[in-house]
Copies of this chain bind each other. A is one copy, B any other.
Amino acid sequence: MEGVGEEEMEGVDHLAHERNKSEFDVDAMKIVWAGSPHAFDVSDRISKLVASDPGFRKDNRSTLSRKELFKNTLRKAAYAWKTIVDLRLSEEEAAKLRFYVDEPAFTDLHWGMFIPAIKGQGTEEQQQKWLPLAYKMQIIGCYAQTELGHGSNVQGLETTATFDSQTDEFIIHSPTLTSSKWWPGGLGKVATHAIAYARLIVGGREHGVHGFIVQLRSLEDHSPLLGITVGDIGMKFGNGAYNTMDNGVLQFDHVRIPRNQMLMRVSQVTCEGKYKQSDVPRQLVYGTMVYVRQTIVADASCALSRAVCIATRYSAVRRQFGSQNGGPETQVIDYKTQQSRLFPLLASAYAFRFIGEWLKWLYADVTQRLQANDFSTLPEAHACTAGLKSLTTTATADGIEECRKLCGGHGYLCSSGLPELFAVYVPACTYEGDNTVLLLQVARFLMKTVSQLGSRLSSKKPVGTIAYMTRVEHLMQCRCGVQRGFAELSADLVEAAVAHCQLIVVSKFIEKLQQEIPGKGVKQQLEVLCNIYALFLLHKHQGDFLSTGCITPKHAALANDELRSLYSQVRPNAIALVDAFNYTDHYLGSILGCYDGNVYPKLYEAAWKDPLNESVVPDGYHLYIRPLLKQEIRTARL
């Protein structure tokens, strides 16, 4: 299970016959998948570095107790940092290393939320004070926003930050049980500091929710500071999965912090107790959201492609039924039922990769415009990333579980890697915006856009991913009805929002194919995948297309025929298309998905490592099994 993939794999390649079948240049496709030769090089180098270092092994995760598991994660995080320091890795390389270590840890929040929050919401002065400490990990930060009673509705948070002008301090307080901070990663056991969000109260007046830098633990002995009650919120879905993370609970009992620990880039409280806005545009916050959600979309393509790689390779190894004259049985990947479930997910993995790439461009574009005080594309970019976050994470979570089922019974074993991948992935459907809530935001944005189409007062023209609306005259007629009953029709509006996002993914995939793409047969393969993705969606949602008269039943049937023919075209290239992800066996973490396809001996060997197999006769035999067999149950001590 552990190893560095093709280079160091010894012995027979059981999938060689599959690799020989492929009709395109896999190495060229690896560059396309990675995004650039440079990105490929960094990924390739760092992933092999991690895979070959026993300090990063992860195949023992599922049998560790919570405490052992957590301690092991602390070790790995420190070891990763040591590696980064020792090897003088660049920021890009360091980020890749954390990615390939592939274990949720407090460092994710430190680097991914704490530091960006200070960068985005802190003043120059605050950045100069806190960032160097954070960059060197002299302090470890977390991001304490959600509470026991509030997640999606950030404006409903109950924690208070009351300004005391006498001491020039804020008093951070948790007035109720439901105001306990709840979920922040890294908070439970590790973080020394938090960005805590609280309702700002100055001179008895409320000014909404703001962020504050609060020290939680002593930097000397790690004990919680006065007024701080902090702990872990307990076990979560899966064996290892997010149980390596100390998602935390936190209560403040009138905790005092200096005034200059409120993040003051956008609004300030003066020492006289005056609340004022700075001239920095509030819209900057949306820029950060675009950034975070764009990374989530990129992660979706990683997680889905990983599951697809496992399921595809195993589908080529596994044989069942169809033996003729004592010959080998049929590879399950040759069954149309398997193909019709697996290949749309393969196509989705590529589609999400390219939409992630495009979102990276979008974020850069938005940032540039913000710097030039151009906010015109921000609402569209915000809606677009919200919708794509929702679409890709839902499809990925469902897709991983579908891949697990496509591996039959053996997919249920932890050694398949898929249960853990699912459990560790699904929170993405909830964090950084619940997927349904996000789709409602998209729907609201779409309705607003539609309602302004006919208005002469509005000079706004739909831009970017909603530009098509100007061309659709009849949308204007929908206006009134929809505005009347938004809440009533919200379930249907969510479906409309999904359709809008699917349109974006399909069109960006098509745009990608209009670029030049080098490598023998590479573009052809991507065209097949693009068509599969589009036609699969059409098939899945044919009701919408039919009921709106966009297609006829005849079209729907033709699309279905075409889909089947596309599956046949993908089939010989399937293994090569997942090889192009360039994942090491270490990163995949799956016996079913190992590069050489030597599944059964590895499964058999792994089984014996379970703690239950340490003794032939199990612990508990004398107390609980023997009394049954010997008919001594009535007198047994249980």
Contact = CB atoms under 8 A, between A and B. Distances in A.
A414 B237 contact: yes
A123 interface: no
Interface in A585-638: 600-601, 603-604, 606-614, 616-621, 623-629, 631, 633-634, 636, 638
Interface in A382-432: 401, 405, 408-409, 412-415, 419, 423, 426-427, 429-431
A467 interface: no
A624 B65 contact: no
One complex includes copies of this chain to the number of 2
Contact of A628 (B78, B234, B440, B546): B78
Interface in A513-535: none
A196 B436 CA distance: 49
A234 to B, nearest CB: 4
A413 B564 contact: no
Interface string A118-162: 000000000000000000111110000010111111001000000
Interface in A534-592: 539, 541-549, 553, 556-557, 560, 564
Given A409-B431, A628-B137, A606 B234 contact: yes
Nearest to A622: B222
Contacts of A74: 618, 620-621, 623-625
A209 to B, nearest CB: 14
Contact of A236 (B81, B414, B542, B614): B414
A75 B426 contact: no
Contact of A604 (B82, B190, B249, B548): B249
A414 B232 CA distance: 13
A70 interface: yes
Nearest to A548: B553
Contacts of A634: 82, 85-86
A624 B74 CA distance: 6
A560 to B, nearest CB: 7
A17 to B, nearest CB: 18
B66 A611 contact: yes
Contacts of A236: 412-414, 419
Contacts of A560: 492
Interface string A213-239: 000000101111000000111111111
B430 A405 contact: yes
Given A65-B65, A67-B611, A600-B178, A337 B494 contact: yes
Given A542-B547, A549-B553, A611-B66, A629 B237 contact: no
Contacts of A430: 405, 408-409, 412
A638 B83 CA distance: 11
A412 B427 contact: yes
Contact of A607 (B86, B152, B231): B231
A620 B64 CA distance: 15
A467 to B, nearest CB: 27
Given A74-B618, A429-B405, A613-B232, A547 B557 contact: yes
A600 B66 contact: no
B633 A81 contact: yes
A70 B152 contact: no
A340 interface: yes
A557 B413 CA distance: 44
A591 to B, nearest CB: 10
A235 B414 contact: yes
A188 B615 CA distance: 11
Given A65-B611, A409-B430, A638 B55 contact: yes
A301 interface: no
Nearest to A82: B633
A434 interface: yes
A448 to B, nearest CB: 18
Nearest to A401: B401
Nearest to A246: B612
A223 B85 contact: no
Given A236-B419, A427-B412, A600-B177, A631 B138 contact: yes
A77 interface: yes
Interface stretch (A25-33, A269-277, A482-490): A482-490
A435 B611 CA distance: 32
A192 interface: yes
Contacts of A232: 607, 610, 612-613
Contact of A434 (B408, B542, B553): B408
Contact of A320 (B150, B610, B621, B633): B150
A98 interface: no
A207 interface: no
Interface in A49-99: 55, 62-67, 70-71, 74-75, 77-79, 81-82, 85-86
Contacts of A492: 560
A155 to B, nearest CB: 9
B223 A610 contact: no
A468 interface: no
Given A148-B603, A412-B427, A543-B543, 19 more contacts: A64-B65, A67-B611, A74-B618, A75-B638, A82-B633, A137-B628, A137-B629, A139-B629, A140-B628, A153-B329, A189-B618, A232-B613, A233-B607, A237-B423, A238-B419, A249-B604, A337-B494, A405-B435, A409-B431
Ranked 10 nearest A-B pairs via Cβ: A542-B543, A340-B491, A543-B543, A237-B419, A547-B553, A74-B624, A71-B620, A235-B414, A189-B618, A546-B546
5 contacts: A75-B620, A223-B616, A237-B414, A409-B427, A541-B543
